[in-house]
Amino acid sequence: MSTVNKKEIDKFSKIANEWWDVEGKFKPLHKFNPLRIKYIKEKIINHFGINSKSFPLKNIELLDIGCGGGLLTEPMSRLGAKVTGIDASKKNIDVATYHSKKEKLKIKYLCSSPEKVFFNKKFDVVLNMEIVEHVDNLDLFIKKSSLLLKKNGLMFVATINRTLKSYVFAIIGAEYIMQWLPIGTHDWNKFVKPKELIDLNDKNGLELIKLDGVSFDLLKDKWFITNDERVNYISYFKKI
């Protein structure tokens, strides 16, 4: 069994050279990054009781699944974490590897997926950010992701809810009207309702700590945490 959707991999491989172009195809992720970084950093610090100010994630073993070109992987490394990134697209991994070397960052990148990769260790933190809506066999994906996590470790998941509002905003609005994303980036049928995600994680020994809605403010041109989970949401779970 595989979690890799070849159509999705091909789609992102074709635009892999634009990962680090802040005005390119991944512009929405560049805008989303400050909120993601802040959210992840704060939750890790609070959970593990870290008090280092210079490198707040020092000694944290972190795995970024579906890392793309490394937009989130690199900031985690700069915060002090020992980071590994995996992605099923070789082009994504090539871009991420090249950029991290240019930035002189020690990040281990592998072209793989959670059901195929093998490590002789488990991780304190696993990131599944903006990836679960692009995979096949989500049940297997979460199961294999959870097996890579240490007991009491944290898994972060950010994705899109499957609602009428998400169809209007995330597909019609973002892809067709605002043209923030290439048309066809998302398939509404693969969006994941919060309850579905919570139930899958619960089945695999992952307890929900918090789930928050995420919205974009057009006037301020930035993302912020909200109570509205009908489109984007971000969450984190503890391995029990």
3 state DSSP class of 73: helix
**Least reliable range by pLDDT among 58-72, 102-116, 168-182, 206-220:** 168-182
In a domain, 193, yes or no: yes
- Distances in Å between the alpha carbon of 113 and those of 45, 92, 224, 227? 27, 13, 30, 32
**Beta-bridge mates of residue 213:** 226, 233
In a domain, 146, yes or no: yes
**Beta-bridge mates of residue 129:** 158
Task: Give the residue-averaged pLDDT of 61-77.
Answer: 98
CA 142 to chain centre: 13
Identify the CA nearest to 71 among candidates 30, 111, 112: 30
Residues 6+ apart with CB under 8 A from 3: 113, 114, 115, 135, 136, 137, 138, 140, 141, 144
In a domain, 92, yes or no: yes
Which residue range is the domain that position 55 belongs to?
6-161+189-239
DSSP 5: -
pLDDT at 182 over 90: no
Identify the CA nearest to 69 among candidates 127, 17, 4, 22: 17
Degrees (nearest 5) of the Cα angle 66, 149, 92? 15
Which pLDDT value is given to residue 20?
A: 98
Which pLDDT value is given to residue 12?
A: 95
pLDDT above 90 covers what percent of the chain?
93
What's the whole-model pTM score? 0.96
State the Cα–Cα distance between residues 113 and 66, nearest whole angstrom: 8
Taking only the tens place, the pLDDT of each residue in 9-64 is: 999 999 999 999 999 999 999 999 999 999 999 999 999 999 877 899 999 999 99
Taking only the tens place, the pLDDT of each residue in 145-154 is: 999 999 999 9
In a domain, 180, yes or no: no
In a domain, 172, yes or no: no
Which pLDDT value is given to residue 1?
A: 84
Using left for φ > 0, alpha for ψ between -120 and 50, and beta otherwise, residue 184 falls in left
In a domain, 173, yes or no: no
In a domain, 130, yes or no: yes
State the Cα–Cα distance between residues 210 and 229, nearest whole angstrom: 12
In a domain, 181, yes or no: no
| Mean pLDDT for the chain overall | 96
Domain count, the chain: 1
**Least reliable range by pLDDT among 45-54, 62-71, 207-216:** 45-54
**Least reliable range by pLDDT among 26-35, 77-86, 173-182:** 173-182
Which pLDDT value is given to residue 52?
A: 79
Which pLDDT value is given to residue 33?
A: 97
State the Cα–Cα distance between residues 125 and 55, nearest whole angstrom: 16
Which pLDDT value is given to residue 51?
A: 85
Confidence of residue 89 (pLDDT cuts 50, 70, 90): very high
State the Cα–Cα distance between residues 141 and 187, nearest whole angstrom: 18
Using left for φ > 0, alpha for ψ between -120 and 50, and beta otherwise, residue 232 falls in beta
* CATH classification at residue 119: 3.40.50.150
Confidence of residue 218 (pLDDT cuts 50, 70, 90): confident
Task: Give the residue-averaged pLDDT of 212-223.
Answer: 94
